[in-house]
Amino acid sequence: MTGIRPRPPAKDLRRPELDELDERIVGILADDGRITNADLAATLDVAPSTAHARMRSLVDRGVITGFHASVDQELLGRGLQAIVGVTLRPGARHDSIVAFADEVRRLPQVLQLFFIGGSDDFLVHIAVEGASDVRQFVVEHLSAQRYVATTRTSIIFEYHRNAVAAPFR
Amino acid sequence: MTGIRPRPPAKDLRRPELDELDERIVGILADDGRITNADLAATLDVAPSTAHARMRSLVDRGVITGFHASVDQELLGRGLQAIVGVTLRPGARHDSIVAFADEVRRLPQVLQLFFIGGSDDFLVHIAVEGASDVRQFVVEHLSAQRYVATTRTSIIFEYHRNAVAAPFR
DNA sequence: AGTGAAACTTATTCCGT
DNA sequence: ACGGAATAAGTTTCACT
């Protein structure tokens, strides 16, 4: 048996404490993840070596979790996007739900998956070619699944993104 | 007077026609937008100059719309995310709605904004520090607005992203 | 369209402050 | 932590297949 620990020895594994320069760097890279370090430094009005060290630190500390190309889904042949709200059957076991969600998450049509509290259990953001593909996706991968109670599909007319959030659990 | 044209001269302003190599490049850059061209070429098993020309073409054709750093919102001091469904009052004029949505979109807490059809009129994906900030955001920027009829807030427990979609109207 | 090699630009390290 | 200068690595162009 272990004794009580009066206080964890103030040892935060990672505690970033972003200063103003860090925040500016995050903002610039969120907007243009491929800006050259020289341009980044010029924008910040610091030396390239400083900009570089700061950026590395942000990546190392996990503040910046990655860099990603954003893709025009329409030009990829997926001109229609939708959000599908899904409610699950009350009886489903937790690990069954996790396994099911994991499968949904891997489908190529799925852009994002949100597990939420409230009337729906999760939201799926998909991109497909046309209206019949929306229906097919919902029927095949959601409604027909044994853990799914209901679905509610909303077509997306317009989409804006200010930031790319890191996935989390 | 001009004669009839038996067929429009096959001149689509932009018709990408992605081949298999293009699609692989898009996939790789969607996952790692900062991979070096040398590594990209090695992965594709083509010469660096080829990989480079293909990538440039994808950007020029608008298939790839940008590169963005993804950011851990929690480490930025926004450890709580939510989706807020908003319904608008029936009577609102269209340009008033556009102006209102535009304001919402610019708020620093807003990660994404979806205009949708169905029971809600739009969905706002936000990241804030804590529960009280969710409430404050909804009350201040949504419920109190004259065009808003109802809101429905759902806390996000888990979030997965497979791709970064380009904004669109 | 794809390639290899040259020319150029940028990232990265290191050391001094 | 920051900056300057040297080095290493990468990008970009181009003549040729």
Integer Cα distance of B158 and B143 in angstroms: 26
Query: Which of B61, B65, B157 minimises the CB distance to A115?
Result: B157
- Give A7's Cβ-side CA count (13 Å radius): 4
| Per-residue model confidence (pLDDT) at position B141 | 98
Integer Cα distance of A94 and B157 in angstroms: 14
Contact B161 A167 (CB under 8 A): yes
On whether the A20-60 domain is CATH 3.40.920.10, my answer is: no
Q: At what angle do helices A48-60 and A37-44 cross, to 10 degrees?
A: 100
Query: What are the extents of the domains in chain B?
Result: 20-60, 73-156
Integer Cα distance of A38 and A41 in angstroms: 5
Phi and psi dihedrals of A22, rounded to 5?
-55, -45
Looking at the domain covering A73-156, what would its CATH class be?
A: alpha beta
- pTM metric for this prediction: 0.92
- Residue A41, by phi and psi: left (phi above 0), alpha (psi -120 to 50) or beta? alpha
Q: In this structure, are residues A114 and A122 in contact, taking their beta carbons and an 8 Å threshold?
A: yes
> Tens digit of pLDDT per residue, chain B (169 long)?
443 434 343 334 455 689 999 999 999 999 999 999 999 999 999 999 999 999 999 999 999 999 999 999 999 999 999 999 999 999 889 999 999 999 999 999 999 999 999 999 999 999 999 999 999 999 999 999 999 999 999 999 999 999 999 999 9
Q: Strand C: list positions under 7 Å from protein Cβ.
A: 2-5, 9-14
The burial of B5, by beta-carbon neighbours within 10 Å (0-12 exposed, 13-18 middle, 19 or more buried), is given as: exposed
How distant, in Å, are the alpha carbons of A112, A127, B31 from that of B164? Answer: 9, 11, 9
Nucleotide at minimal C1' distance from the A49 CA: D3
